[in-house]
Chains A and B, each alone.
Chain A
């Protein structure tokens, strides 16, 4: 029998630990550190989301509720510490967020898990909207539009660590993130984690075994609420300000993207997705205004062509590699690379031209510079090159895809032969 923490998994964990310890030392720049902090928080949040979608089959459109309420609870706790001057180790403060997430999971999860499947998705959206709308109704509790702020530096904490520097804050986030990852991973091997998978795959059979699917879903929502709350608590400590934005539908939406792009079928998927989406969000947003549009395209294309996300793609190619077929497949990819790049270039140019046109102040002139060529988005002729690129690229890509589909059969047969 395979144990949960087998040797290879321990190796992966150790490597991951080494990466998160060394990562902040790689660059002295301030934004590198704040990027890493954001990745750490997103990782916990995305993994807690995947406890529902990936492990229990519950698609939640309102997961930001637990994240945001955890963040608000933590900032209130911190403010109370300053106001009434009592001391509590800041190191443990994310637990306040976790407790809030847990409590609201108990209260709200009772309502949301009354129904499963598609209805759960709708109800979670409704609850999410309700909490987001209420947050603006109680300015005393949620700080209104401006949000609530505080200072994480209280009396000297353990070992004199005050979390005054961002580096100390990073290690706090990294430590909590690592603990949460361990906790959530261990959970997958408990009876509850196993039953969650059973409930996801076949609730009727789970019921026959003697478990109440509704109860299993409820427990998973409560626990996911706890971990989301911890992530929220870390956010509150990291930024020292919490606004209603943390509770909003867009926060719920971005966590869906993180988990899905990374891959909901594998435990490590959301970790990859959280890092990738956070980096993209910051890097792409600094280059172009149209970044949400590109996110939307990436997400939709993945849903249609690679529903396993990045982790799914990697796992598929691992299987090909094991079967000794990876080389042949890569050759095909090489063939598709040029049309694919042409297609992408065309789409990006089209989107950017639309933005230039929308923002242009003088009529008749909306120039976009691409590779030394200037395209005028205000003239119909300016749109011709990218349209041609998309059409030609798309056509060639289709040809390659057809070829791959026919070649794919030979790959599958040799895979089967190897297995036999």
Chain B
């Protein structure tokens, strides 16, 4: 029971972090049909910026400043890089962001070195939030969830109830019409790209110290975020939400369970004579590739993803 509760809570915290990344990616994709390959690189930059800022003036200012810095960087890149690449079509855009992700990792190694940096959870957020059946749940996980949920509510409110949010929504489906009504659509694009990367930056700020802040963090997070977006259905925020939580919770449960096929057979009183390597693998070992297996299964049985629109 305690395993189920703690895994569930940890899984939701991780899933919300995934959603913070995939929501920005989805917003950018559905608006500009650009797949931002460098999205996880912005997540990494958020963590490193937060590390540097919190070393200078503390964690709380970093929580605000680092995402804004990342967002500003994203907006600049959109304005002076992506817009140029846009002339050459979607493949050039994708390759440009691919080049960026490559450069970002090298830049981070150049400035902060190849080893992980000591980006810690602030002392005011250390300790246990509550204890359940002898297992304590850290405050920081609760804080992560609170920040994620708060940010998501703010995002929803911003998109649904503000004037600029309504214009963005309109530009999502009818950019030409919005342009004809006198709105500066390219500037809205820059804004959305900056906003999406700022979300990734915020995920880096709160995820970097919970996980680890190192140059490899973008490469380990990036593919999973893409899988979330494919499983949820391209361009669907709701789908990305469901897929993030699903993958977050599933993966956390699998890490905690070291059952293998052989154990299950034994539990059924069957003793296999020769066990291939595949049967010996425990769920814990399979956890890192679970998202990809899920993606393959979804693609075979439901190519448009959980909530995606039908492919045209």
With the chains together, A121 CA to B311 CA distance in Å?
Answer: 15
A-B pairs, top 3 by smallest CB distance, nearest first, are A130-B292, A300-B99, A296-B103
How many Å from the CB of B193 to the closest CB on chain A? 16
Q: Decide: A303 near B111, CB < 8 A? Known: A53-B91, A130-B293.
A: no
How many Å from the CB of A213 to the closest CB on chain B? 11
With the chains together, A295 CA to B291 CA distance in Å?
Answer: 31
**B299 near A292 (CB under 8 angstroms)?**
no
Which one, B65-73, B225-233, B249-257, is touching chain A?
Answer: B225-233
Q: Which residues of A contact B102 (CB under 8 A)?
A: 253, 292, 295-296, 299
**B106 near A114 (CB under 8 angstroms)?**
no
Tell yes or no: A290 within 8 A of B by CB. yes
Tell yes or no: B288 within 8 A of A by CB. yes
Contacting residues of chain A (67-104) with chain B, CB-CB under 8 angstroms: none
Contacting residues of chain B (83-130) with chain A, CB-CB under 8 angstroms: 84-85, 88, 90-92, 94-96, 98-100, 102-103, 106-107, 110-111, 113
Q: Choose among B84, B285, B295 the residue with the greatest number of A CB atoms under 10 Å from its CB.
A: B295
Contacting residues of chain B (288-302) with chain A, CB-CB under 8 angstroms: 288-289, 291-293, 295-296, 299-300
How many Å from the CB of B107 to the closest CB on chain A? 7
How many Å from the CB of A380 to the closest CB on chain B? 16
Tell yes or no: B219 within 8 A of A by CB. yes
Tell yes or no: B270 within 8 A of A by CB. no
**B103 near A293 (CB under 8 angstroms)?**
yes
Tell yes or no: B17 within 8 A of A by CB. no
**B95 near A260 (CB under 8 angstroms)?**
yes
Contacting residues of chain A (294-330) with chain B, CB-CB under 8 angstroms: 295-297, 299-300, 303-304, 307
Which A residue sits closest to B96, measured CB to CB?
A: A303
Q: Which residues of A contact B113 (CB under 8 A)?
A: 358
How many Å from the CB of A258 to the closest CB on chain B? 13
**A292 near B106 (CB under 8 angstroms)?**
yes
Can you name 17 A-B residue pairings with CB atoms under 8 Å? A59-B91, A114-B300, A114-B303, A115-B299, A118-B29, A118-B33, A118-B234, A123-B295, A126-B230, A129-B292, A130-B293, A137-B286, A296-B103, A300-B103, A303-B85, A303-B96, A307-B92
Tell yes or no: A405 within 8 A of B by CB. no
With the chains together, A53 CA to B286 CA distance in Å?
Answer: 32
Tell yes or no: B277 within 8 A of A by CB. yes
**A115 near B311 (CB under 8 angstroms)?**
yes
How many Å from the CB of B215 to the closest CB on chain A? 11
Tell yes or no: A141 within 8 A of B by CB. yes
With the chains together, A260 CA to B289 CA distance in Å?
Answer: 30
Tell yes or no: A109 within 8 A of B by CB. no
Tell yes or no: A389 within 8 A of B by CB. no
Q: Contact partner of A118 among B90, B99, B110, CB < 8 A? A: B90
Q: Which residues of B contact A123 (CB under 8 A)?
A: 230, 295, 299
Tell yes or no: B211 within 8 A of A by CB. no
Where chain B touches its partner, the secondary structure class is: helix
Q: Contact partner of A137 among B92, B285, B291, CB < 8 A? A: B285
How many Å from the CB of B233 to the closest CB on chain A? 10
- Given contacts A125-B223, A293-B103, A293-B110, 13 further A-B pairs with CB under 8 A are A111-B296, A111-B299, A114-B300, A115-B311, A119-B230, A125-B222, A137-B281, A137-B285, A253-B102, A256-B95, A260-B95, A299-B99, A358-B111
Where chain A touches its partner, the secondary structure class is: helix
Which B residue sits closest to A291, measured CB to CB?
A: B106
Q: Which residues of A contact B303 (CB under 8 A)?
A: 114-115
Q: Contact partner of A114 among B100, B234, B299, CB < 8 A? A: B299
**B103 near A297 (CB under 8 angstroms)?**
yes
Q: Which residues of B contact A53 (CB under 8 A)?
A: 91
How many Å from the CB of A300 to the closest CB on chain B? 4
Give me the interface of B with A, judged by CB distance under 8 Å.
Answer: 29, 33, 35, 81, 84-85, 88, 90-92, 94-96, 98-100, 102-103, 106-107, 110-111, 113, 219, 222-223, 226-227, 229-230, 234, 277, 281, 285-286, 288-289, 291-293, 295-296, 299-300, 303, 311
Q: Which residues of B contact A253 (CB under 8 A)?
A: 98, 102
Tell yes or no: A410 within 8 A of B by CB. no
Q: Decide: A119 near B111, CB < 8 A? Known: A111-B296, A126-B295, A137-B281.
A: no
**B92 near A126 (CB under 8 angstroms)?**
no
Tell yes or no: A57 within 8 A of B by CB. yes
**A300 near B91 (CB under 8 angstroms)?**
no
**A127 near B292 (CB under 8 angstroms)?**
yes
Tell yes or no: A191 within 8 A of B by CB. no
Give me the interface of A with B, judged by CB distance under 8 Å.
Answer: 53, 57, 59, 61, 111, 114-115, 117-119, 121-123, 125-130, 133-134, 137-138, 140-141, 249, 253, 256, 260, 290, 292-293, 295-297, 299-300, 303-304, 307, 351, 354-355, 358
Q: Decide: A300 near B96, CB < 8 A? Known: A119-B234, A125-B223, A253-B102.
A: yes
**B289 near A303 (CB under 8 angstroms)?**
no
With the chains together, A225 CA to B125 CA distance in Å?
Answer: 51
Q: Which residues of A contact B29 (CB under 8 A)?
A: 118
How many Å from the CB of A26 to the closest CB on chain B? 33
Q: Which residues of A contact B222 (CB under 8 A)?
A: 125
**A303 near B299 (CB under 8 angstroms)?**
no
Q: Which residues of B contact A300 (CB under 8 A)?
A: 81, 96, 99-100, 103
How many Å from the CB of A66 to the closest CB on chain B? 17
Q: Which residues of A contact B229 (CB under 8 A)?
A: 122
How many Å from the CB of B103 to the closest CB on chain A? 4
Q: Which residues of A contact B91 (CB under 8 A)?
A: 53, 57, 59
**B292 near A133 (CB under 8 angstroms)?**
yes
With the chains together, A114 CA to B299 CA distance in Å?
Answer: 7
Q: Which residues of B contact A304 (CB under 8 A)?
A: 81, 84-85, 96
Which A residue sits closest to B100, measured CB to CB?
A: A300
With the chains together, A256 CA to B92 CA distance in Å?
Answer: 12
How many Å from the CB of B246 to the closest CB on chain A? 15
**A141 near B277 (CB under 8 angstroms)?**
yes
**B300 near A111 (CB under 8 angstroms)?**
yes
Q: Which residues of B contact A61 (CB under 8 A)?
A: 98
Q: Which residues of A contact B288 (CB under 8 A)?
A: 133
With the chains together, A127 CA to B107 CA distance in Å?
Answer: 27
Q: Which residues of A contact B92 (CB under 8 A)?
A: 303, 307
With the chains together, A137 CA to B281 CA distance in Å?
Answer: 8
